[in-house]
Amino acid sequence: LGKHFLSDILAGLFVGFLVGNANYFLKKLVEKKELKLTKLEKEVGFIAALAASFIAITFINTPKLALTVLGYYAGFFLLKELNIDSTPVQGKKFYAKAFIGLAGLGAILAPAILLKIPETIELAAFFLSGFWISFIWPFLFEKFAKKP
């Protein structure tokens, strides 16, 4: 994989901190209903994410990351389009949800990372990993695993 300088690690931590705080701020805006997206705005957002992913695939040599992001946003918008609410869980259910979700993610990505498979299947696995995180696992959890 390569070596990283301390500055690389610190810059990554800083960017991660900024992105995390920005996502938290946007989540709070949505929760307060100050930011209500219309169906058209959701579709424009999806098209923008799609365009950004295709630009990243074309001009920046990071198709795996771009397809993961594209899969994530495709799942996110599908979850919202189907009006599926992902209710927060606590305690043992939280840890079980996180563990099973990460195990599923590992099952999707392990062959793409560890085995020599055709590039198209490898890229599809990265798209599916983003889709798993934002749609498949939350949908399955809400549908089958969450009991009152």
Overall average pLDDT of the 131-148 stretch: 82
Helices (H) and strands (E) in the chain, counts: 6, 0
- The per-residue pLDDT for range 74-120, each reduced to its tens digit, is 888 788 778 777 777 788 888 888 888 889 989 998 988 888 888 88
According to DSSP, residue 82 is labeled: T
Tokens of 71: 């899969």
Between 148 and 82, the more confident residue is: 82
From CA 40, how far away is CA 29, in angstroms rounded? 19
**Amino acid at residue number 25:** F
Give CA 106 to chain center in angstroms. 14
Q: Has this prediction a pTM greater than 0.85?
A: no
Contacts (Cβ under 8 Å, ≥6 apart) of 34:
none
Tokens describing residue 69: 């992001």
Give the whole-number percent of the chain exceeding pLDDT 70.
77
State pLDDT tens for residues 36-61: 566 666 677 777 777 776 776 667 66
Average of per-residue pLDDT across 52-73: 75
